[in-house]
Amino acid sequence: MGEKITISPVTRIEGHAKITIHLDNDGNVEESFFHVEQFRGFEKFSEGRMFYEMPQITPRTCGICPVSHHLASVKACDKVAGTEPTPTATLLRRLMHKGQLIQSHGMHFFELAGPDLILGFDADPAIRNVAGVVQANPELAVKAVKLRAFGQEIIRRLGGRRVHPVFAVPGGVNKPLSEEDRDWILSQVDDHIATTQVGIDFLKGWVEEHQTMVDDFAVFPSMYMGLVQPDGALELYGGQLRLVDQDGEQVEQFDPCNYLDYIGEHVNEYSYLKSPFYKKMGYPAGVYRVGPLGRLNAASHINTPLAQEEMAVWKSLNGGRPVEGTLYFHYARLIETLYSLERTKELLDDPAIMETDVANPGGQITGEGIGCIEAPRGTLFHHYWTDDNGVIEKVNMIVATGHNAWAMNHSINMVAKKYVDGNNLEEGMLNRVEAAIRAHDPCLSCSTHAVGQMPIDIQLVDADGQVRDRLRTD
């Protein structure tokens, strides 16, 4: 083995991570590793707390998708409390979750990945960021900021706060929706549908312009997983989990409460991020992808009209087979944003959402509960065991980003081999490697809920440990 390039921290992703690229003696890329560096220990330190505290404790795994944790947690708590939410409460939880998808996806496309797409992978790193986007295209930037803000406002109007809201409780939610809030949200939706469509048009143009690269940038087969409705349509809150193979054929469809029969987690010694896999096939044969790309490949269609128009395009990209290219994550993310906006409208047009019966009383403590939801980054599981009084005895969490751990590592390997020339290092090469991670929109605080961090200093170190070349972007 020759040299090692370290990219630390990886930026414009959530959390702390580094990438190491190992070179052979001729300066060619041999292998690359994605190291997630943070671990906090939620699965241990929640022991001894009352179960109903979990919907407030666990959102602190991630400030970008706190609502996903809040809701997965409360779904587990419904079961621990031996109750279920009222129909209105379910509608309101779904509405808040749409707010989560809109803000997280909106921010990722325009503010995190956007600088690469709008300014270019080789743009000066000093301006390749949200400030650069504001300068290059202020009109688009302001629209994007407003799209994210809209998602955050839905969350705040329901849960009182934009980050770490206080809303769902076992059996329901803590307050009904006001007419004023319903009318305000409805009055804004169409503008944001328009912004998302501007984003989709921009992305399609970008893909067309960079088709050769898109077709060659970490494109690989895998299995895919996501929640689906009974008719096989895209689902984000309830439903069953569907796992499809690399040809798009269904391998399994199961109730998420039985996840332990289907999903195992493999530990890599080089990362705090575990790699889930399909148990019946083992690791690494049973790896799959989740998140926007995984979900659109697992679902057969989308039950809202505008998003379904795009879904039809999606399904045609690879002749009816699953879409394999990592950069298509961005397209999938925008399609899901469109879906979430359309669903926001549908939910608010349903008179049942205005009912005031928003919580059922608790029953007998059952001692165990499992909650599953599609977080922006993929399938999220919370599993709690309690004593007869509801004191937490054990916690298991499988977090969205983890399911993509293998895929992220595989992607950087492919991109590094394609673009990185160890004898002639350029920053843009390494930014492409980072972009392969970024496309997955990982959330590393989440994924290492167990402890966590993800930031880049690139060094080319020769076999004697001498720094031969260094890219440190400060």
Task: Tell me which residues in 307-366 interact with other proteins (CB under 8 A).
Answer: none
Residue 12 in contact with other proteins, rule: CB under 8 A: yes
- Minimum distance from residue 66 beta carbon to other proteins (Å): 7
The residue within the footprint of other proteins, chosen from 1, 24, 25, 41 (CB under 8 A), is 41
Contact pick of 28, 31, 39, 306 for other proteins (by CB under 8 A): 39
**β 288-289/223-228 pair status:** parallel
| Residue 138 is a binding residue for other proteins (CB under 8 A) | yes
∠ at Cα 420 (415, 426), nearest 5°? 125
Kindly state the smallest distance separating residue 368's Cβ from other proteins, in Å: 11
284: left (phi over 0), alpha (psi -120 to 50) or beta: alpha
**Which of 120, 161, 221, 421 is the binder for other proteins (CB under 8 A)?**
161
Work out which of 94, 105, 128, 315 binds other proteins, going by CB under 8 A. Answer: 128
CB of 419 to other proteins, least distance (A): 17
Q: What is the dihedral of CA 154, 160, 165, 169, to 10 degrees?
A: -100
CA dihedral for 292, 298, 300, 303, sign (positive or negative) = negative
**Binding to other proteins by residue 257, rule CB under 8 A?**
no
CB of 441 to other proteins, least distance (A): 12
Would you say 196 or 275 has its CB closer to other proteins? 275
Q: Look at the chain and count its residues.
A: 474
Site string for other proteins, 265-294 (x = CB under 8 A): xxxxxxxx-x-x--x---x-----------
The DSSP code sequence of 342-354 is HHHHHHHHSGGGG
* Smallest gap from residue 229 Cβ to other proteins (A): 25
Binding positions for other proteins, 399-458, rule CB under 8 A = 431, 443, 445, 450-453, 455-457
Residue 220 structure tokens: 């690989």
Nearest Cα neighbor of 238 from 228, 248, 246, 247 is 228
What CA–CA distance (Å, rounded) separates 172 from 75? 9
Residue bearing tokens 């220990």 = 41
- 136 touches other proteins by CB under 8 A: no
Interface with other proteins (CB under 8 A), residue total 88
Looking at residue 422, the DSSP 8-state letter turns out to be T
- 46-65 residues in contact with other proteins (CB under 8 A) are 46, 57, 59-64
* Smallest separation (angstroms) from other proteins to the CB of 211: 25
* Helix residue ranges per DSSP H, 162-262: 179-209, 211-214, 259-262
Nearer to other proteins, 112 or 311 (CB): 112
Residue 319 gets the label, from left (phi > 0), alpha (psi -120 to 50) or beta, of left
259 binds other proteins (CB under 8 A): yes
Q: Is 253 helix (H, G, I), strand (E, B) or coil?
A: strand
Over the Cα atoms of the chain, what is R_g? 22
Site string for other proteins, 367-406 (x = CB under 8 A): ----------------x----------x-x-x--------
Considering only the stretches 78-86, 110-118, 195-203, 349-357, report the one whose residues sit in contact with other proteins under the rule CB under 8 A.
Answer: 110-118
User: Could you report how far apart the first and last alpha carbons of the chain are, in Å?
Assistant: 29
Is the Cβ of residue 344 or residue 447 nearer to other proteins in the bound state?
447
Structure tokens at 151: 């998602």
32 vs 90 by CB, closer to other proteins: 32
